[in-house]
Structure formats: structure tokens, C-alpha cells
Amino acid sequence: MTSIIFASVPIHGHVTPLLPLAAELVARGDRVRFLTGSRFAAVVAATGAEHVSLPDEADFDDRFVTAQFPEREQLSPVKAVAHDLEHIFVRPGAAQYAAVTELLAQEPADVIVTDPTFAAGALLVELPVGERPPVIVGGVLPLNLPAPDLAPFGMGLPPLGGLAGRIRNGFLNALTARLFAPVNAAGAEIGRRALGREPRIPVMQWLQHADAIAQLSVPSFEYPRPDDVAAQLRFLGPVSVSGAVQHALPEWWSELDGTRPVVHVTQGTIANTDLGELIRPTIDAFADREPLVVVATGGASADSLGALPGNVRVAEFLPYAELLPRTSVMVTNGGYGGAQFALRHGVPLVVAPGKEDKVEVAARIAWSGVGVRLRHQRPTPEELRKAVGRVLADPSYAQAAQRVGAEIVASPGAAGFARVVDEAICAVSPVEPCPTA
């Protein structure tokens, strides 16, 4: 029986996309242990995997990060990325590494699967292959691998080649080297604590040293990459549990009959403490106009929205697999999984990105032609009205979304991930013939 450890930071958007991958391996008879936050015990157990809680020093509730780090709300998107990398992701790495080491001592594993921000992954790849299992990165975030045409991750800038690109990217790399210096210093510190020596790999560059990257996206939604990436890169397409969640149809569902455009807006299930960021401006943008505005509050109370125009329909949760085929445009704050779930159904996007990785998702939405990017997370009703109108009026956005959607539908998904696991195991313990992903 193959033994696999999943390890993820305790953040909803990082844990949730890994769950169907764990379930796929459990279903084929593998032994799966899933190391993550204590609040995810039930959803992990539902996959058939064994839940293991992170130690207290590395466990937190991502719904209350703002309260824990109030200073981050005043930071620019790039500075917020640097702050989060250091304090939320890197510094817990030593405790994460201790937990993984303990699991391996209790029972050896054939493969370790981590999310890209699980800092212990950077420590694991410091070890020779013979002293550790293969490490596979489950790509739940926009792909973060350096390339000559790319600006540093977190800038939200599209690729730019040639002389202009070299000048731009060189300047920005020098700038972010200073900005992210505390992040790399924190990585060196946890490396010394965990390994007893100075780490060789900067913590922000560890992904390219993993044994494989199983990216939960498709090539057309990610920037082109150089051919010399050390880690084997596989695109699996987004693998989401959202479509499996059953939600009752609201009484107004029959109004989604195709007789008028449907604009769907959501802020997700985490960044929804202030519905005035995106949902209320979208409502105001189309108050009593032709489109039907369908709101999913993600569990937040609809009472905070105030009085609603006659063309607005609200629910806390909606059955996305049924809603999205009826949707003309989706307005989003740029979650990687949510955006791609819309694209799976060929729905073009208007994105007003929040912090974290959302600026990178927004950049990919604009670059791939599947939607319109707004420049800040609190757009005005007028900005939203113009952006949605542009998407509705120009068929190229829907056509691009449909092309990406077709690629997503054809992607290998969780079954492809199982093949990546087998291939990684075979690379260190060859059998004949070795499987290929």
C-alpha cells in the first residue's frame, strides 16, 4: 500500500483544492495522512484520509487573520504579499517541519504533497532525495516560477519580453529583493533551526527544486515557462469540490431562464466580512437596469446589504454547477479556484482583486483575454457598470472563456494527479514499466 502525506497551511483556499486529490488516492486504496489546521478535521475525514493537526505554533484560523495582523489592511498589495509571506507562511515553517518529521518517524511515507506556501517544503527539498520521500507541490495558487519575461510574483504584471522586459523585470527584481529581504531572512532562520545549518535554497525559490509540481490549472491560464524548470511540471486543471456541494434552489430560480443577462457577484467564503467591497457596488451599478444581479454572500448575512433593487436576487450559497451555465458575466475578487470554476463553464469575468495572490489571478484573467481587470478591490458602481458592459458587448471575452473552459474540461484532474504520484515514486524506486503522467 502506498503511503502519502498531504501537508497544507490552514487556509481554506489552500486546503479545499487538495481534498479531492486526497480522496482520489484513498479511493484507490492508498494510505493518506493529511497534516493541516485543526478546523479542517471534518472535511479531511470526509475524504477518507486521516486528519493530523498542525502544532499550535503553525495552526491558525484564516477567517481571523485580519484581527491577528491588523496592520496588513493598510499595506499595498505587494507589501501585503511580503508581510503575509514572512509572518503567515514562512515563520511557522520550523514547527511544520517538526510535525512532518514526526509523522515520518511514526510511519514512513512514499510521497509528501504540500501546498506551495507550506514552508516546510523548502526545508524538505534541502535534504538529499535518499533521505526524504519525493516532494510534490499541489499548485493551488497561480504558478510562481521565475522566468526571464516575468515580473516578480505578487506584482500582478503580465509577461514582457525583449529589451523592455529585461529592463522592467531587472528593476522590479532588484526592488523586490529589498522588499522581500525579511522573508528570505526568516527562511534562513527557520532553516538553521530545523536543519542545523544554513539552507542552500532561498525560501522563495524552493518550488523549482521540488520533485514535481501538479498545477491545478491549464496552460492557457498560466504564463509560458522556460523548458529548464528542474521540477517536473504537470497541468491537471482545477479540481474542485464546489460542484459536489448541494444547495437548495431558491424560489426565484426560474427567473434564470435566459430572457435577460445574468450578472453573478461573489466575494467568496473568506473575504466577505465587508460586502461593501464588491457586492454592494455591483448591486448599485445595475440597480433597476436590465441585467438580473445574482448575489452569493458566501455565508455572510444579506442584511448588511441594505435595501435591494427589484432586479437583485440574493442567497448565502448557490449551486454553482447549475448557476454558472445560466450566467453571462461573473464579478469576482479573484480567487484562483473560483475564477477557474467560472471558466470551466465558459463564463467571462470582471475581477476587482483583493490582496494575497488575487492580483496575480487578475493579471492572468486580463492576459488570457477571459475578462476585464479593475485596478483596486473597491471599485465604484460606474467602474463596474462599464467593465461588465464591455464584457457583454465584446464577444471575444466569452470566446476566450469558452476556449479555456474546453481545456479545463479536457484536463486529467485527480486521476492525472494519481499518475504524478506514481511517477514520482517510480523515479526513486523504479519498477518496470514506470508509469507516465
Q: What is the DSSP string of 60-81?
A: --GGGHHHH-GGGGGS-HHHHH
**Contact indicator for 113, 21 with CB cutoff of 8 Å:** yes
For residue 429, what are the β-bridge partners? none
Spatial CB neighbours of 163, under 8 Å, sequence gap ≥ 6: none
Spatial CB neighbours of 299, under 8 Å, sequence gap ≥ 6: 269, 272, 316, 317
For residue 351, what are the β-bridge partners? 332, 373
First to last CA, the chain: 20
Give the containing element (helix H, strand E) for 213.
Answer: strand 212-215
Residue reference for cell 487573520: 65
Residue reference for cell 523592455: 164
- For the chain, the structural domain boundaries read 3-237+411-428, 247-409
Spatial CB neighbours of 105, under 8 Å, sequence gap ≥ 6: none
Query: In this predicted structure, what is the pLDDT of residue 242?
Result: 45
Give whole-number Cα distances, 122 to 55, 97, 376, in Å.
18, 9, 32
Q: Please give the Cα distance from 34 to 65 (Å, whole number).
A: 22
Phi, psi of 65 (to 5 degrees): -60, -40
The three cell numbers of residue 437 are: 503522467
Query: In this predicted structure, what is the pLDDT of residue 76?
Result: 74
pLDDT digits (tens), the chain, 437 positions: 899 999 999 999 999 999 999 999 999 999 999 999 999 999 999 999 999 999 999 999 887 777 777 777 777 766 777 888 888 999 999 999 999 999 999 999 999 999 999 999 999 999 998 899 999 999 999 999 988 899 998 889 999 999 999 999 999 999 988 988 999 999 999 999 999 999 999 998 899 999 999 999 999 999 988 766 656 899 999 986 544 456 678 999 999 999 999 999 998 766 667 888 899 999 999 998 999 999 998 877 878 888 999 999 999 889 999 999 999 999 999 999 999 999 999 999 999 997 778 999 999 999 999 999 998 889 999 999 999 999 999 999 999 999 999 999 999 999 999 999 999 998 887 665 666 55
Say which DSSP state 402 is in. H
The three cell numbers of residue 418 are: 494519481
Q: Sign of the C-alpha dihedral, residues 383, 389, 392, 393?
A: negative
Query: In this predicted structure, what is the pLDDT of residue 363?
Result: 97
The three cell numbers of residue 230 are: 528542474
For residue 234, what are the β-bridge partners? 214
Say which DSSP state 316 is in. S
Same CATH fold assignment for domains 3-237+411-428 and 247-409: yes
User: Yes or no: is domain 3-237+411-428 CATH 3.40.640.10?
Assistant: no
**Contact indicator for 159, 367 with CB cutoff of 8 Å:** yes
What length does the chain have? 437
Q: Please give the Cα distance from 319 to 331 (Å, whole number).
A: 17
Spatial CB neighbours of 36, under 8 Å, sequence gap ≥ 6: 6, 7, 8, 9, 10, 15, 44, 51, 52, 53, 54
Q: Please give the Cα distance from 52 to 58 (Å, whole number).
A: 13
The CATH architecture one would assign to domain 247-409 is 3-Layer(aba) Sandwich (3.40)
For residue 5, what are the β-bridge partners? 33, 112
Class of residue 310 by CB neighbours under 10 A (exposed 0-12, middle 13-18, buried 19+):
exposed
Quick count: other Cβ atoms within 10 Å of Cβ 249?
13
Class of residue 382 by CB neighbours under 10 A (exposed 0-12, middle 13-18, buried 19+):
exposed
The three cell numbers of residue 436 are: 507516465
Class of residue 410 by CB neighbours under 10 A (exposed 0-12, middle 13-18, buried 19+):
exposed
Q: Please give the Cα distance from 166 to 151 (Å, whole number).
A: 9
Q: Please give the Cα distance from 96 to 243 (Å, whole number).
A: 31
Q: Please give the Cα distance from 286 to 292 (Å, whole number).
A: 8
Query: In this predicted structure, what is the pLDDT of residue 274?
Result: 82
**Contact indicator for 291, 309 with CB cutoff of 8 Å:** no
